[in-house]
Structure 1
Amino acid sequence: MVDTVVSDAPRRSEEQRSHARSGRRWSPTSVVVALVVVFGAGLIAYPSGATWISDLTHASVVSGYAQVVDLTGETELAQLRADAVDYNASLPDGPLRDPYVLNAQGGSDDLEDGRTDYLSQLSLRADAPMARISIPAIGVDLPVYHGTDDATLARGIGHLYGSGLPVGGAGTHSVLTGHSGIPGASLFTRLDEVRIDDLFTIEVAGETLTYRVDRIETVLPDDGDHLRQVAGHDYVTLLTCTPTGVNTHRLLVRGERVTTAAGADAETALAASAPPGIPWDAIAVLVGGLGIAFTIARPRPTRR
């Protein structure tokens, strides 16, 4: 008799557990609420996560550009810089067209004339950046591409066609433009945090140029006088739309060339690009959302 009771005990225990499981049911309402929680957590985490992926992509492109420069002979790099200087000398003086103003067809026509010649300047290889810009004060390290069409500005910073190529020289004025406030990419979003005397560097064809911010202003889109060449001065202006999301004006951050030695504390642009930090806030939101969703949706005992 004792043996029978002992042998039946495990079977009864398993039956009890099976009965307990069969007494639990998924609530359709709870599942829907849990899905809403997960969806909401995803929406909250998306901007940080997408920006991190974008920054990671830019860091990879910048690192690749540095490697291409390292693998290119100094003679070829020097010729690229010399050709760019000659190109700048041929540019006419005058106001430039705003890069965000569309033509009658709703597109950008900043590469209408001289496209082939322009795209050949500072070209180390097909589809590669022409340069690299670093703004330590706001953590920017981005590739610079030819032109300012939508596809280009989605990839990084664009060089405004008609302005000087960013190789420096007295009487030159290069304009680099980037988006701000767009979901999933930082780009020039923090450009309004730059202050007078901040430094930024441009690495181009193996040479690093350092600029000190000397003027910051907000202008209307049709005010191109601030982008003119000025005799005896070597300028680079960083341009983006402002206010964020409204975009009725343009923020211009102008820097004048200084010796790279004087700007050494701005970090050399030849250094490897540091990978962007992991977006722990987005991860925390997702994990928290999944935890809450599981708690809400898990099967509950049925009432008898």
Structure 2
Amino acid sequence: MLTVVIAVMALGCLASGLYPMAASWVSSYNQSKIISGYESRLDHVKPSVSHQMAKAKQYNDALNAGVVLEKSGNMPIGIGASSNPDLEYEHILSSGSDGMIGRIKISSVHLDLPIYHGTSDALLQRGAGHVEGSHLPIGGKGKRSVITAHRGLANATMFSNLNKVKVDDTFTMEVFGEVLAYRVHSTKVIGPEDTVTLSAVPGEDLVTLVTSTPLGINTHRILVTGERIKPTPIADIQAAGEVPTIPGFPWWIVLALTGFGLTLAYFINRGFADAKSRSKRLAAASG
């Protein structure tokens, strides 16, 4: 009986220990499938890519953009307003019913995520969100887009490693066939008592990435701001549309099989030992 209890406890510990790794891998795999299908969707998107990109530029030009991080608020709040109500946010850079705008890649922290319209909790469970009220992420002087994602989810990596991004690291965004590269020029952590407004800077083409910290506590905010690299590096253009290399090989399966095999070997070995011990006791009793 003790052997069974120990084996069950070992399997339970193995499952609980591997769950975050396995869940994160599955989430990244699902994201990679979504990203892989994005490029093919653009070939058939309606309105056309060129039409939607033109609308996105009009939207940005008409937007009095801005995002505020309030005291004790984890989620950035868009405060921008458009002077042209005919330009509807949800219908611009729309590649399908899932609201996907594009893709963000940060090679220094092995991040490759889809970007969606808006910041609803349902969307942020699936990837990064563009903060409505900031400029759409198509670049342009005097424009600033704000992208946010969760950090520390039990079942997904998302922006969990954003704290490891350093000044001079680069990241790229692929949006409706355009490749935009950015070099990080500032990283900062702001406290829960601080209020910060993220506005466009004349003459600068910026993207700010936002998430919460510390992991599991989420009282502070991480801000990573990059400035557009012009011209776009050839390597980034050539890498556009590539199949994601994340999440890579599922090592958690190897660990799971190894752990299961060791537990099974222990169970069988102890089972034989227990059976042999019982046989000896019975023989001694009968003798």
TM-score higher than 0.5 here? Answer: yes
Structure 2 match to 1:35: 8
Q: Which runs of 5+ in 2 are unaligned?
A: 283-287
Distance in 2 separating the partners of 1:268 and 1:241: 30
2:6 aligned with 1:66: no
Distance in 2 separating the partners of 1:80 and 1:146: 14
Q: Give, as a single letter, the amino acid of the residue that structure 2 aligns with 1:172.
A: K
Which structure: larger Rg? Answer: 1
Q: 1:260 to 1:192 in 2, by over 3 A?
A: farther
2:173 aligned with 1:202: yes
CA contact (8 A) 2:67 2:77 kept: no
SS at structure 1 position matched to 2:222:
strand
Deviations 1:165-214 (A, max 9, x none): 10111111100001111112111111111111111111111111111111
CA contact (8 A) 2:179 2:236 kept: no
Q: Give, as a single letter, the amino acid of the residue that structure 2 aligns with 1:96.
A: V
Structure 2 match to 1:136: 107
Question: So what's the TM-score if we normalise by structure 2?
Answer: 0.84
Distance in 2 separating the partners of 1:110 and 1:93: 8
Structure 1 match to 2:24: 51
Structure 2 match to 1:89: 61
Range that drifts further, 244-253 or 290-299: 290-299
Distance in 2 separating the partners of 1:159 and 1:81: 16
Aligned residues: 271
CA contact (8 A) 1:34 1:294 kept: no
CA contact (8 A) 1:202 1:269 kept: no
Structure 1 match to 2:285: none
Structure 1 match to 2:195: 223
Instruction: State, as a whole percentage, how many aligned pairs show the same letter.
Output: 37
Q: 1:173 to 1:261 in 2, by over 3 A?
A: closer
2:244 aligned with 1:273: yes
CA RMSD of aligned residues (A): 3.0
SS at structure 2 position matched to 1:130:
strand
Distance in 1 separating the partners of 2:65 and 2:100: 26
Q: 1:56 to 1:251 in 2, by over 3 A?
A: same
2:136 aligned with 1:165: yes
CA contact (8 A) 1:200 1:266 kept: no
Whose RCO is larger (CA < 8 A, sep 6+)? Answer: 1
Q: 2:96 aligns with which of 125, 143, 165?
A: 125
Q: 2:163 aligns with which of 185, 192, 195?
A: 192
More strand by share: 2
Query: How much does 1:160 deviate?
Result: 0.7
Distance in 2 separating the partners of 1:65 and 1:93: 27
Q: 1:266 to 1:190 in 2, by over 3 A?
A: farther
Distance in 2 separating the partners of 1:189 and 1:115: 37
CA contact (8 A) 1:235 1:255 kept: yes
2:209 aligned with 1:238: yes
Q: Give, as a single letter, the amino acid of the residue that structure 1 aligns with 2:210.
A: L
Q: 1:151 to 1:72 in 2, by over 3 A?
A: closer
Deviations 1:23-59 (A, max 9, x none): xxxxx23212211111111011111111110110010
Q: Give, as a single letter, the amino acid of the residue that structure 1 aligns with 2:13.
A: G
